[in-house]
Amino acid sequence: MGKATREAFGEALVELADKFPGLVVLDSDLSKSTMTVEFAKRHPERHFEFGIAESNMIAAAAGLALMGKIPVCTSFACFLVGRLETIRVAVTLNRANVKLVGTHAGLGIGDDGASQMGLEDVAAMRSLPGMTILQPGDAAEARQAVEWMLQHQGPVYLRLTRQKLDDVHGPDYRFACGRLDVVWQPQPQPAHFQATVLASGGTVGEAVAAAKGLQPKGFAVRVVNAGTLAPFDADSLEDFVKDSERLVTVEDHNIAGGLGSAACEAATALGAGRPVVRLGVRETGESGTPAELYERHGLSAPHIMEACIRNLE
């Protein structure tokens, strides 16, 4: 098991502090959880603690950005998206260069339960013009995504996990914003796939396990990491649609408005005529271990396997 993407984020901030002198970090009483605490220790003059007042933190970040700083605002995903009105006006209408980092995404937070789970954040952020949405699938990707985010001019929402994730990228991995990248497929590459699975963040590892599990049964399944949820990579999707009988999406987020929706919108626009099976959260979440919750809410490898070969066996 590798690191949580929030851990990689915290390390990246420390590492990149000198490279980006405009970087400032804003917290709302969760710096130990969002992993900004080490940056705060090393650069106290560039860290601002706002207390439990996220709206003020986000709009203040917009003010800092309008003065040329690169503010990184952190909280749990659910508490950031709860201030959508502030994000909508202070950040996106102002075209402010604010980086919103929502940790504790989805069911994967485990036993803290429903009120702490960010399950609607991607849907809301996708509706904001100019907002780039990143969700890295492992620590290496998170590290590179943070660096990309800091050099990018414009608002970014970075969605991170509380739970540790398996590494899904090889040593040569290079992050590219707006790209769907294949993280696993049978070798040698078959000409035809029963399914291409699009996964993001906490579900990428599950998808890889599912695809590996289906290979001995004679099913060719490709796993694609959707590390950028907006803008969505429709060009790559077109390639996957050509050689796959179906698309499967799996996301630790509400079934509406997230990765599955983005994939359906893109696939429909392509006129591909391929079915898209969407796996996502349909209820409000609950306490349990991450593994128990992924199993119960249909995001675990067995559920993904079933979605890939339903009606094919």
Closest CB to another protein among residues 129, 271: 129
**Is 52 exposed, middle or buried (CB count within 10 Å of its CB: 0-12, 13-18, 19+)?**
exposed
Shortest separation between residue 148's beta carbon and another protein, angstroms? 23
Give the distance, in angstroms, between the CA of residue 272 and the centroid of all CA atoms in the same chain.
26
Shortest separation between residue 109's beta carbon and another protein, angstroms? 25
The kind and range of the H/E element at 168 are: none
Closest CB to another protein among residues 68, 216: 68
Shortest separation between residue 83's beta carbon and another protein, angstroms? 9
Q: Which of 11, 38, 45, 54 is catalytic?
A: 54
Annotation says 54 is catalytic:
yes
Q: How many residues does the chain have?
A: 313
The Cβ of residue 280 has, within 10 Å, a number of other Cβ atoms equal to 23
CB 118 within 8 A of CB 127: no
Helix 234-243 × helix 259-270 angle, to 10°: 70
Shortest separation between residue 63's beta carbon and another protein, angstroms? 2
Closest CB to another protein among residues 59, 156: 59
Q: State the residues that interact with another protein by CB under 8 A.
A: 24, 45-46, 48, 50-51, 53, 55-56, 58-69, 71, 85-86, 88-90, 93-95
User: CA dist 214 to 165, 202, 243, Å?
Assistant: 21, 20, 17
Closest CB to another protein among residues 65, 266: 65
**Beta strands 221-226 and 180-184, pairing class:** antiparallel
Residue carrying the six token digits 């937070």: 109
Closest CB to another protein among residues 85, 235: 85
Cα atoms found within 13 Å of the Cα of residue 41, Cβ hemisphere only: 9
If DSSP states are collapsed to H, E and C, what string results for 207-276? Answer: HHHHHHHHHHHCCCEEEEEECEEECCCHHHHHHHHHHEEEEEEEEEEECCCCHHHHHHHHHHHHCCCCCE
Shortest separation between residue 92's beta carbon and another protein, angstroms? 9
Shortest separation between residue 165's beta carbon and another protein, angstroms? 33
Closest CB to another protein among residues 22, 178: 22
What residues act catalytically? Answer: 54
